[in-house]
Amino acid sequence: MKREKAPLGKYVEIFWPAIAAYAACTALVFLALYYLLCRYSGLEGGRVLFGGWIILVAIMGVFSHRMLSRRNVQEKLTQSALERTNQHMREIQLQKRKEQLNALQNQINPHFLYNTLDTISWLARAHDAMDVVQLVDALTNMFRVGLSSGHDYIPLREEKRHVVNYLYIQGVRYGERLKYEIEIPEAYENIIVPKLILQPLVENAIYHGIKLKRTGGTIRVSSRADEERLYLSVRDNGAGISAERLADIRVWLADPKSRERQVGFGLSYMEERIELSYGSGYGLSIDSREGEFTEVVICLPVQGGERNV
């Protein structure tokens, strides 16, 4: 960041008035010193004149030194301010560059991921490994719903498809220990819901319910609705939750101030997300019995059409 040079005429306009003011101050100070020395020192005129000049030169020297020092300090402060400004501009440019690169990566990564998964699926088909083909296709569909062209709200049919693919992948991992049922009628599939609203609850049901039960269990995802509200349920017959912890979770769900205790990060995120989207009249409820079951119900408004927020 270069400083522009001032024109020569500007310096001339400032220089001569400064010289005149300096000379006037010098004359006034000298006359005052001469008067004081003549009156009170008792010296001869020549010595008074000589002494006056010495005192005057000393005073002007100290004054000039202070003026120069002050100017140096001001120049240093100005230079420091310019350096800070330049540093700030460089940081802004660097941040813009990072944002551009991140945006480019966000455009490239999904396409690269899809192409890679398609290649794996094609190779698996070529070797007649249909179980691998189904697994890769399920993963591809999960990523496709997860991205959803940047939309935060999607039709329930897409959320249902996402959960089905997720449960299929987990079923391959856990085998007979994990069974699941999806009961979402077609009549509800056009209702608009927040994206990825069910999968975190299904994941909780697996890791905190089915996985902790030696014999495994079943996850049931279902829905019901009236004219104004949609209810989505995720229920498992796994390990369940103790009465004490269930009471803590219910208090936390009812009282926003208690959420600083972070009783379950997944539920925390879900509850706050629903409240921010629809208000305090909607959210989560939970019921459980240790060793028997856990059920989480999501309450949402019935909304149709496309909501891309």
* Residues 286, 249 contacting (CB under 8 angstroms): yes
Residue 41, pLDDT above cutoff 50: yes
CB atoms within 10 A of CB 63: 14
- Output the CA angle 271-233-144, nearest 5 degrees: 75
Task: Assign 23 a pLDDT band (cuts: 50, 70, 90).
Answer: low
Burial degree of 218 (CB within 10 A; 0-12, 13-18, 19+): middle
User: Residue 264, by phi and psi: left (phi above 0), alpha (psi -120 to 50) or beta?
Assistant: left
Task: Please determine, for residue 192, whether its predicted confidence score (pLDDT) is greater than 90.
Answer: yes
pLDDT at position 305 over 90:
no
Q: Which has the closest alpha carbon to 154: 103, 199, 210?
A: 199
How far is the CA of 241 from the CAs of 205, 245, 257, in angstroms?
A: 11, 7, 23
Strands 217-225 and 229-236: antiparallel
155 strand-pairing partners: 192
Nearest CA to 26 among 55, 5, 67, 69? 55
Q: What is the C-alpha separation between 146 and 194, in angstroms, rounded?
A: 11
Report the pLDDT value the prediction gives residue 48, as an integer from 0 to 100.
47
Could you give the CA distance from residue 111 to residue 203 in angstroms, rounded to a whole number? 26
Please give the backbone phi and psi of residue 4, each rounded to the nearest 5 degrees, phi first: -75, 140
Q: CA 231, 235, 240: angle at the middle one, nearest 5?
A: 135
Cα–Cα distance for residue pair 294/235, rounded to 1 Å: 6
Separation between Cα atoms, residue 270 and residue 274, nearest integer Å: 6
57 token code pair: 């030169």
Report pLDDT digits (tens) over 97-148.
Answer: 666 656 555 555 666 777 788 888 888 888 888 888 898 888 888 877 766 6
Q: How far apart are CA 41 and CA 266, in angstroms?
A: 93
The pLDDT tens digits of the residues spanning 49-98 come to: 545 555 555 555 555 555 556 666 667 677 777 888 878 787 777 777 66
pLDDT tens for each residue of 224-281: 998 899 999 999 999 999 999 999 888 887 775 665 555 555 687 788 889 888 988 8
pLDDT of residue 306: 45
pLDDT tens, position by position, 157-181: 999 999 999 999 999 999 999 999 9
Across the chain, the runs of DSSP E, i.e. the strands, are 153-155, 178-183, 192-194, 217-225, 229-236, 283-289, 293-301
The answer to whether residue 152 scores a pLDDT higher than 60 is yes
* Bigger pLDDT: 150 vs 50: 150
Angstrom CA distances, 307 to 61, 141, 152, stand at 78, 21, 8
User: Which candidate, 165, 168, 190, places its Cα nearest to that of 178?
Assistant: 168
Task: State residue 179's pLDDT score.
Answer: 96
CB contact set of 220 (below 8 Å; sequence gap of 6+): 180, 181, 183, 233, 234, 235, 236
10, 13, 68, 71, 82 from 74: Cα distances, Å: 20, 22, 10, 5, 12
**pLDDT of the residue at 202:** 95
